[in-house]
Amino acid sequence: MSKPDPYLNLQRRQPELVEAYERFAAAGHEAGPLAERDRRLVKLALALASGMEGATHSAARQGRDAGLSADELRHVALLAGSTLGFPAMMRGLTWIGDVVEDD
C-alpha cells in the first residue's frame, strides 16, 4: 500500500514516533473479533463521520487492499446519508471516488 508524502516525510523525520503509532494502530486493529473486511468498513465509516479527508482516503485505500470493492466502499458513504446528512454523504462519495475512480 502506498502512503501519502506527508506521512512518509514524518516517517523520515520522526521514525520512532511513526513506529510507535503503527504499533498502537496494529494493536487496536487486532484487539477484537471483527474480521479484516469488517474492520476496514468501520474505519471508513469513522473517517467519513469525522469529516477527515485524508483518513477517508487512507481507509478507502486500505479497504481496497483488503479486497473490498468500490461498490462496498461507496455503500458506506450512502449509509452515512441518513445519519450524517446529504452533504456528508456526497463528500464521502467524492473522497472515496478519489481512490476508486478508475473502477
Q: What residue segments make up the domains of the chain, in order of their start?
A: 1-32, 35-103
Read off the pLDDT of residues 20-78 as tens digits, 9 standing for 90 and up: 999 999 999 999 999 999 999 999 999 999 999 999 999 999 999 999 999 999 999 99
Rg (CA), the chain: 14
Which one-letter amino acid corresponds to residue 11? Answer: Q
pLDDT confidence of residue 92: 97
The rounded percent of the chain whose pLDDT value lies above 70 is: 97
Report yes or no: 92 and 56 within 8 Å, Cβ to Cβ. Answer: yes
How many CB atoms are closer than 10 A to CB 86?
10
How many CB atoms are closer than 10 A to CB 92?
28
**103 vs 15, residue with greater confidence:** 15
Q: How far apart are CA 1 and CA 59, in angstroms?
A: 11
pLDDT confidence of residue 101: 79
Q: What is the pTM of this model?
A: 0.88
